[in-house]
Amino acid sequence: MQATYLDKLNPDQRAAVVHGVGGADIPPPLLVIAGAGSGKTSTLAHRVAHLLVNGADPRRILLMTFSRRAATELTRRVERITTQAMGTGYAAEALTWAGTFHAIGARLLREHAAGIGLSPDFTIHDREDSADLMNLCRHGLGFSKTEQRFPAKGTCLAIYSRVVNAEEPLAEALKAHFPWCQSWEAELKQLFGAYVRAKRDQNVLDYDDLLLAWAQVMSDADFAAHIGGQWDHVLIDEYQDTNRLQARILRAMKPDGRGLTVVGDDAQSIYAFRAATVRNILDFPDSYAPAADVFTLDRNYRSTRPILTAANAVIGAARERFTKDLWTERESAEKPRIVTLATEADQARYIVDRVLEDREAGTALRDQAVLFRTASHSGQLEVELTRRNVPFVKFGGLKFLDSAHVKDLLAMLRFAQNPRDRVAGFRVLHLLPGVGPVAAGRILDALDLSPQPALALEAVAPPARAAADWPGFVAAMTSGAGWPEEISMIRAWYDPQLDRIHEDAEARRADLLQLEQIAAGYPSREKFLTELTLDPPDATSDRSGVPLKDEDYLILSTIHSAKGQEWKSVYLLNAVDGCIPSDLGTGSTEEIEEERRLLYVAMTRAKDRLTLGVPLRFYVTQQTRNGDRHVYAMRTRFIPKEMLGHFETTSWSPPQPAGTRPAPVHRIDVGAQMLSMWD
C-alpha cells in the first residue's frame, strides 16, 4: 500500500528517494545531479513525502527553491503523494518552512531580530528602492556632480551586489565584471560604506542583506547550531543557481551535511550574472566527502525525442558540462521548428495564429507558453494578444506592483511600519501638495532624530500648502489600526490624492481596491510587505495582478522565470544573435556559455512542440547609450548550419490584406456607366 508512489519512479529515482530514509539516523548528504526533465523535482517531492510517510515532522523540514510559485507547487505535490499513500496526507501548509532562500532569510532575521542587533520592524527594499537609496548616497557624497561619468545608480548596485553575493573583493569584481568602472574603486568603496550605514540608520535591509545577514549570524557557532538544529532535513531544488553565501549558510547549518539533499543541473546554471556559481553543485561531493552520495538520472520524461535531440545538440557544444545527454522513449515525427519572419510584428502574429489554432485543436492556452530573453521583448506580442482578446499571464516581467500608484500605497505601508525608511518616506511625503525634496528631507531628518519617529510625525510643522492634508495623513499613517483595516485607512486617505496626481484616476482606483483585497489574504502587514517585495504577483493581461477569471490563459515568461516548468507547446521569441546571446554583456566566454545554457533551458521546457522565432528585423529597445536602434538579425550562433538537420526550417509572412491586392486589369468606364443610368 505504502509503496505505490515508489512504483511510479524509475530505479534511479527510487534509489535517490529512499536513500538513508527510515533508519535511526538522519540521512547522509545527498546530491541528485541530472539533466532537464529527468525528474529531479519529482524526486525531491517524493523524497519529502517519503520522509513524512516514515514519520518525519513536517515542521522540521526546510524546503528551499528559487520562487514562491515553485515552492507552492512542490508542497502541493508532496500533499498529493502523501494523500495517495496514507489516505489522509499532509496538507501543503504543514510544511511551514518552504520558500525561497530570501524569504526564509527574512523570516529568520525577523524572528531573531532582537538577538542580532536588528529592529524587528525592519523594511525590505526591492532592487529599485535599493538603487534609489544608492542614489541618495551618491548625491550625498557629491559623486554624481563632481564626477561626470561616475557609474549610474543601477551599476553601483550591481557592483555592490556582486561583491556581497560572490564574496569577492571589490577590486576583483571590478576587474572581472565591470572593467569600465575600475578607476572609481576608491569612490565606490566610500559609496558602499555610506550605503551600508544608511541602511543601518534607516532600519532597512536589501535583498542581498537577507542572505548576507543570515550568513553573518551563522558565523556564531551557537547561533548556527540553534538555527540549523530547527530542521532535521534541508532540501534544495535548482542548486546550480545558488551563490557562495548560500553554500556558506548551508554549511553552517549542517556542518556534516547530514539531512541535506540538493538537486540541480549544471547545464542549466543561468544565474552567474547574479553571482551564482556552478561550483556549489560540482564541488558538493568533495565538500561533504566522504559522507556525500551522488545520484544521476539519465532518462528524460518531458520532451519528445526530436526536441530532446535538438536540445542535446545545442548543449553538446558547451565547453564544460558534467551532466550527460538524456534519452527518452517519447517518439514523435514532429521536429522542433525554426520560423524565419520579416519583423517582430510578424513573429507576434504568427505565434498568436498558431496558439489559437492549437487551442482549436485541443491544446488549452495554459498548456502553451511563449518565452523570451528579456521582459521587454514581449511588447509586440502583448499588443497582438490584447488586440485579439487572448488572455495571458506574464511571469518575471513588469509587474502590477511597478505602477506608480501601487508603489505609493506600498510605500505608505512601509513608512507606517518603519518611519526611518527614507526611500519610502520621500515617496510618501511627495504625495502631499507643496512638499518637495527639501521639505521632505527636513521632515525625515526630524523623524530620524526622534526616539519615537511615529509619534514625532504628529509634532512636525508641515509646509503651508500641505497644512490642510497633513492631519489626515498623520492619522492614516499612525492609526495603529489592525491588519487589514490599516490598508483601508491608508487607501481612504490616498484616494482623493489620486485625482490630483493622475489623469486616469479611475483605473488606478480599481487597482488599489484589488490590492486591498489581496492584502486581506495576509495575516499581517509584515508578511504582506515581505512577500510582495520578495516575490511579487505576476502581471496579467488585464493588469490586475490577480489570477484571471477566465482560467485559461497563455503564459508569457522570461527564460529565467520559466526554470523548472514545462508546457506542451513552447515558443521562443527572437532566437537571434544579439538576443541569445544578448549583446549587453562584456562578451566574455563565460557570459556566452551562460547564454547557451539559457537557450538549452528554453528548449527543454517543451513537451510536444517547440517553435523558435527568427525575426530578421529585430528591434532592440534599451540597447545603447544613444537610445534604441534597429538590428538586422541572424539566427542564433548556438544553432549553426550543421545543426539545422535537427529542425524543420520554414518562413512565414502574413497574408496580404484584401485592400492591397493588385487591381484587376480590365478597365471600367465609370463615367459611361453613370450616364447610362439616365440615358
Q: Which residues bind ligand ATP (CB under 6 A)?
A: 8-10, 13, 36-42, 265, 268, 301-302, 564, 566, 604
CA angle 533, 539, 543 (to 5 degrees): 115
Minimal distance, residue 113 CB to ligand ATP, in Å: 35
Q: How far is CA 358 from CA 393, 554, 568, 643, in A?
A: 18, 12, 10, 27
Minimal distance, residue 13 CB to Mg ion, in Å: 13
Nearer CB in complex with ligand ATP: 144/296: 296
Distance CA 257, CA 255 (A): 6
Minimal distance, residue 13 CB to ligand ATP, in Å: 6
The entry of Mg ion, ligand ATP, none that residue 39 binds, CB within 5 to 8 Å by partner kind: ligand ATP
Minimal distance, residue 210 CB to Mg ion, in Å: 23
Minimal distance, residue 105 CB to ligand ATP, in Å: 23
Minimal distance, residue 303 CB to ligand ATP, in Å: 9
CA angle 572, 575, 577 (to 5 degrees): 155
Is there a binding annotation on residue 264?
no
The entry of Mg ion, ligand ATP, none that residue 37 binds, CB within 5 to 8 Å by partner kind: ligand ATP
Residue by residue, DSSP assigns 594-633 as HHHHHHHHHHTTEEEEEEEEEEEEEEEEEEETTEEEEEE-
What is the four-CA torsion angle of 35, 37, 40, 44, rounded to 10 degrees? 170
Nearer CB in complex with ligand ATP: 4/182: 4
Is there a binding annotation on residue 40?
yes
Q: Are 650 and 337 in contact (CB under 8 A)?
A: yes
Pick the closest to residue 581 from 624, 540, 529, 639 (CA basis): 639
DSSP 9: S
The entry of ligand ATP, Mg ion, none that residue 36 binds, CB within 5 to 8 Å by partner kind: ligand ATP
Nearer CB in complex with ligand ATP: 66/178: 66
Q: Which three cell numbers mark 673?
A: 456607366
Minimal distance, residue 299 CB to ligand ATP, in Å: 8
Nearer CB in complex with ligand ATP: 37/545: 37
The entry of Mg ion, ligand ATP, none that residue 301 binds, CB within 5 to 8 Å by partner kind: ligand ATP
The entry of ligand ATP, Mg ion, none that residue 10 binds, CB within 5 to 8 Å by partner kind: ligand ATP
Q: Which three cell numbers mark 431?
A: 504625495
Nearer CB in complex with Mg ion: 39/615: 39
Q: Which three cell numbers mark 515?
A: 490590492
Q: Which three cell numbers mark 148?
A: 561626470
Distance CA 587, CA 571 (A): 26
Nearer CB in complex with ligand ATP: 13/165: 13
Distance CA 28, CA 346 (A): 54
Question: Parallel, antiparallel, or unpaired for β 293-295 and 567-572?
Answer: unpaired
Is there a binding annotation on residue 105?
no
Helix-then-strand count for the chain, H and E: 29, 17
Nearer CB in complex with ligand ATP: 38/368: 38
Minimal distance, residue 67 CB to ligand ATP, in Å: 12
Long-range contacts of 428-435 (CB under 8 A, 24+ apart): 428/477, 431/494, 431/497, 431/501, 432/462, 432/466, 432/469, 432/470, 432/473, 433/465, 433/466, 433/469, 433/500, 434/463, 434/464, 434/465, 434/466, 435/462, 435/463, 435/465, 435/466
SS3 469: coil
Nearer CB in complex with Mg ion: 41/544: 41
Nearer CB in complex with Mg ion: 40/394: 40
Is there a binding annotation on residue 38?
yes
Nearer CB in complex with ligand ATP: 135/558: 558
Q: Which helix (H) or strand (E) holds 657?
A: none
Distance CA 131, CA 153 (A): 6
The entry of ligand ATP, Mg ion, none that residue 125 binds, CB within 5 to 8 Å by partner kind: none
Minimal distance, residue 237 CB to ligand ATP, in Å: 7
Q: How far is CA 334 from CA 113, 222, 647, in A?
A: 57, 59, 9
* Position with the least CB separation from Mg ion: 41
Pick the closest to residue 133 from 474, 414, 460 (CA basis): 414
The entry of Mg ion, ligand ATP, none that residue 646 binds, CB within 5 to 8 Å by partner kind: none
Nearer CB in complex with Mg ion: 380/565: 565
Minimal distance, residue 375 CB to Mg ion, in Å: 22
The entry of Mg ion, ligand ATP, none that residue 197 binds, CB within 5 to 8 Å by partner kind: none
Is there a binding annotation on residue 23?
no
SS3 275: coil
Is there a binding annotation on residue 37?
yes
Give Rg (Cα) of the chain: 28
Q: Are 556 and 378 in contact (CB under 8 A)?
A: yes
**Interaction site with Mg ion (CB under 5 A):** 40-41, 564
Minimal distance, residue 354 CB to ligand ATP, in Å: 23
Q: Which three cell numbers mark 618?
A: 529585430
**378: Cα separation from own chain's centroid:** 16
Minimal distance, residue 578 CB to ligand ATP, in Å: 26
Distance CA 25, CA 28 (A): 9
CB atoms within 10 A of CB 318: 14
The entry of Mg ion, ligand ATP, none that residue 42 binds, CB within 5 to 8 Å by partner kind: ligand ATP
Nearer CB in complex with ligand ATP: 138/563: 563
Q: Are 355 and 554 in contact (CB under 8 A)?
A: yes
The entry of Mg ion, ligand ATP, none that residue 121 binds, CB within 5 to 8 Å by partner kind: none
Is there a binding annotation on residue 446?
no
Minimal distance, residue 34 CB to ligand ATP, in Å: 6
The entry of ligand ATP, Mg ion, none that residue 38 binds, CB within 5 to 8 Å by partner kind: ligand ATP
Q: Are 181 and 188 in contact (CB under 8 A)?
A: yes
CB atoms within 10 A of CB 545: 21
Terminal CA-CA length for the chain: 96
**Cβ within 8 Å of residue 588, ≥6 positions away:** none
Nearer CB in complex with ligand ATP: 489/598: 598
* Residue numbers belonging to the annotated binding site for ATP: 34-41
Numbered residues of the known binding site: 34-41
